[in-house]
Amino acid sequence: MFKDPYYIGFADFLGSDGQKAVAEKDLGNAAYKQKNFEEAHKHYDKAIELDPSNITFYTNKAGNMGNPQEEAVAEKDLGNAAYKQKNFEEAHKHYDKAIELDPSNITFYTNKAAAFFEELKYNDCVEICKKAVEIGREQRADFKLIAKAMARAGNACSKMEDSKEALNWYERSISEFRDPEVVKKARELEKEIKEKERLAYINPELAQQEKNLGNDLFKKGDYPGAMKHYNEAVKRDPENAILYSNRAACYTKLMDFQRALDDCEHCIKRDPKFIKGYIRKGAVLTAMREWTKAKKAYEDALVIDPSNAEAIEGLRNCFRSNDEDPEKARERALEDPEIQAILRDPGMRLLLEQMSQDPGAVREHLQNPDIAAKLLKLRDAGIIQMR
């Protein structure tokens, strides 16, 4: 009967997938009545493929099963259909039945965990995921399925804001199978945890205590000891400009000029009006024999306070100390990345060539602030002369 041309033609001529699915179900029922279970199974599968939202097709398929494992899969399918309709209570019933029929299938547990997750029952989700991992290990299941259960537990922990436990589950999942999406979640969570720890560590009061301890050791000439306290102070209050200034002074004493310069920049960035940051920067650049940059730092300090004695003396010292051979100074300047960038600029190269042929042409170009700044930088570095 199920091979009768009438039935086949009926299925072929129906228009919508829903109608075709019903026709396939009817063909399956006809085959079932004739005890041709294999043929019935094919038609029920086709019906489900055409209309996966119709629970009747799953129940018919379940009735067609001949062994517990097949019945379990059918129950799982019924659970999935209910899950898609957000009928989680019904989904759980079918997943539980599937587990009862075949407790060795990890997928039944992970599907049930997914239902718990959607219900916001995150603790239950984690527990069933643990069971899934246990079953998966016992049955030597595909490592991807075990990884999936672990990742789902991580998602649930993340929803409960238990970041460290979530990261633990994600890392375990990645060790089983390196799913790019899970790797991304793990790395983002790792950053989030570190940032939370950093913020939790901030304590301006303790930072002040550490700074004072550092200052005491600095005065005694114990610069390595002072550095330990300054480092701790910065960790405790990372937006405090004064702490970077103090640490820059300590780096300078230890002859670590690049780190000292970096701290001066951190200091100025956090408080552009803090004059000590510019004075320290000038001192560091002077020690590095970067006279032009040192002069600029002291000039910036004098913009804030034109009468600052330390800045005035630092600027004078730059002029006194800048007795380096002009050719050596020029060679040093050419190593400066900023100078190199200016000289590589096609527009600037054309301009410099024009200036070499007509020195008076510079006046016109000085009207452009950007070009003027670049030309003055080249002049201060000894690369060009301007009168």
- Over the stretch 107-150, which tens digit does the pLDDT of each residue have? 999 999 999 999 999 999 999 999 999 999 999 999 999 999 99
Are residues 243 and 354 both part of a single domain? no
Range of the domain at 376: 337-380
Are residues 312 and 342 both part of a single domain? no
The more confidently predicted of residues 205 and 373 is: 205
pLDDT band of residue 88 (cuts 50, 70, 90) is very high
Burial grade of 89 (CB within 10 A; 0-12, 13-18, 19 or more):
exposed
Least confident of 5-9, 314-318, 320-324, 332-336: 5-9
Are residues 314 and 346 both part of a single domain? no
Are residues 224 and 316 both part of a single domain? yes
104, part of any domain: no
Mean pLDDT, residues 54-69 taken together: 68
Give me 361's structure tokens.
């042409």
Asked if 44 and 64 count as a contact pair (C-beta separation under 8 A), the reply is: yes
The pLDDT of residue 339 is 86
Are residues 318 and 219 both part of a single domain? yes
354, part of any domain: yes
Residue 367: HSE in the Cβ half-sphere, 13 Å Cα cutoff: 4
Are residues 268 and 366 both part of a single domain? no
83, part of any domain: no
Residue count of the chain, please give it. Answer: 387
The more confidently predicted of residues 65 and 170 is: 170
Taking the C-alpha atoms of residue 240 and residue 266, their distance in angstroms, rounded to an integer, is: 9
- Over the stretch 270-309, which tens digit does the pLDDT of each residue have? 999 999 999 999 999 998 888 889 999 999 999 999 999 9
Final residue of a structural domain among 299, 323, 347: 323
Q: What domain count does the chain have?
A: 2
Mean pLDDT, residues 55-79 taken together: 76
332, part of any domain: no
Are residues 357 and 265 both part of a single domain? no
The pLDDT of residue 63 is 61
Helix, strand or coil, per DSSP, at residue 339: helix
Domain of 240, CATH number, reads 1.25.40.10
Are residues 250 and 315 both part of a single domain? yes
Are residues 222 and 248 both part of a single domain? yes
pLDDT band of residue 2 (cuts 50, 70, 90) is very low
pTM of the model: 0.52
193, part of any domain: no
pLDDT band of residue 14 (cuts 50, 70, 90) is very low
